[in-house]
Amino acid sequence: MSLAAGSTIGIIGGGQLGRMLAISAARLGYRTIVLELQPDCPAAQVANRQIVAAYDDPAALAELAAASTVVTYEFENVPVAAANALATKVPVYPPARALEVAQDRVAEKTFLNGIGIPTADFRAVDDDAGLTAALKAFSGNGVLKTRRMGYDGKGQRVFRNMETGGFAGTCEAMGNVPLILEAFVPFEREISVIAARGIDGSVAAYDPAENIHRHGILHSSTLPAGVAPATASAAKDAAAKILSALDYVGVIGVEFFVLADGSLLANEMAPRVHNSGHWTEAAATVSQFEQHIRAVAGLPLGDPGRHSDCVMENLIGDDVLRVPALLAEPDVMLHLYGKAEARPGRKMGHFTRISRRN
């Protein structure tokens, strides 16, 4: 049964993704309440109400559950215990199991491999001795990452031709936290698929976007991606397999490496709406944000087809100074996030430049 108009959707997290979810919820006739420690966060500027508290505050979680008909979240570092506690009182989508898998890179890759989706080779690393053994297995090359909490290139170190040693103190320098070493992948391009699954099990997947990263942060997403139809279809099928295995409800973003022969290796999954899906605001009738609200509200999923080719680009830090020039261009949709201060590496907004398809 779908949520009645006027129902309240709780959103954990107050960043730009929560902001765009709240906007889409309002368009569909729903109210929103945001749980976020930072006052006047981007999401709270457009939501009906904000609970100013930490994501694991028991009293705040109880207040959120009491005020909401369903609860969702805008990022994958929501405490699993908080999601589980909420789920005893109110439906929580996506399920806490998706958070549990996505929050640990070893658990994530183990899960993906277990359902038949290949990834780069990897080794868990707990200390410098473990790093030495892992690098030896990968001929001295690889990317060392924190297993938890890393995003936008944070918590990473690249090793090249380091098989002979010289890593003393590396794990301490990275915080003495659980790590993962991932083997280099000789990929030709990176793509991502945004897909959704409804409460009834129906699945809708958008066309893959081709992504370019700079300094570990997504710079642009281009549609169509430069991949063969069979590769695009395989990426959508993999996303659907993940959704089914997790009994998922909502939107998910899945990133892939595309190899020279067109085959795919899954890089990571994000159990939420995703930066590489922002293009759907401008080039699809139903955006990823509306799709997510439809899913968690029990409404029919929308058509994921796009009406235009496009390029979405993030505005990071001082890129926001480009806004006047962008607004003077035709066929550009701009979305600013309401952040007062532009800092290096901070996503201030994005724009999508569309080109009509004949």
Question: Measured between alpha carbons, how far is residue 187 from residues 12, 141, 161 in Å?
Answer: 35, 15, 19
Q: What mean pLDDT is predicted for residues 15-29?
A: 98
Reduced to 3 states, what is the DSSP secondary structure of residue 104?
coil
pLDDT in tens, 204-220: 999 999 999 998 899 99
Q: How many CB atoms lie under 10 A from the CB of residue 350?
A: 25
pLDDT in tens, 266-299: 999 999 999 999 999 999 999 999 999 999 999 9
Tell me which of 1.10.3720.10, 3.10.20.30, 3.40.50.20, 3.30.70.270 is the CATH number of domain 8-92. 3.40.50.20
Tell me the average pLDDT of the chain.
94
Beta bridge partners of 34: 11, 50
Residue with tokens 């990263």: 213
Enumerate residues 6+ apart whose C-beta is below 8 A from 21: 9, 11, 32, 43, 72, 74, 273, 289, 292, 293
pLDDT in tens, 235-273: 999 999 999 999 999 999 999 999 999 999 999 999 999
Residue with tokens 């999923």: 301
121-182 folds as Dna Ligase; domain 1 (3.30.1490)
56 vs 170 pLDDT, higher one: 56
| Closest to 174 (Cα-Cα) out of 120, 127, 135, 130 | 127
> In the chain, pLDDT over 90 holds for what percent of residues?
84
pLDDT of 78: 93
Q: Is the pLDDT of residue 184 over 90?
A: yes
Model confidence at 163, pLDDT cuts 50, 70, 90, reads low
pLDDT of 357: 60
In the chain, ranges of CATH 3.30.470.20 domains: 189-356
Give pTM, 2 decimals. Answer: 0.94
Phi-psi region of 93 (alpha: psi -120 to 50; beta: other; left: phi over 0): beta
Q: Is the pLDDT of residue 335 over 60?
A: yes
pLDDT of 164: 58
pLDDT of 311: 98
Question: Measured between alpha carbons, how far is residue 189 from residues 207, 238, 273, 309 in Å?
Answer: 15, 17, 22, 18
pLDDT of 275: 97
In the chain, ranges of CATH 3.30.1490.20 domains: 121-182
> Architecture of domain 189-356 in CATH?
2-Layer Sandwich (3.30)
Q: How far apart are CA 247 and CA 249, in angstroms?
A: 7
Q: What is the DSSP string of 107-168?
A: HHHHHHHHTT--B--EEEE-SHHHHHHHHHHTTT-EEEEESSS--TT-SEEEE-S-TT---T
pLDDT in tens, 309-332: 999 999 999 999 999 999 999 999
203 vs 161 pLDDT, higher one: 203
Reduced to 3 states, what is the DSSP secondary structure of residue 297?
coil
pLDDT in tens, 58-116: 999 999 999 999 999 999 989 999 999 999 999 999 999 999 999 999 999 999 999 99
Four-point Cα dihedral 161, 163, 164, 165, nearest 10: 100
In the chain, ranges of CATH 3.40.50.20 domains: 8-92
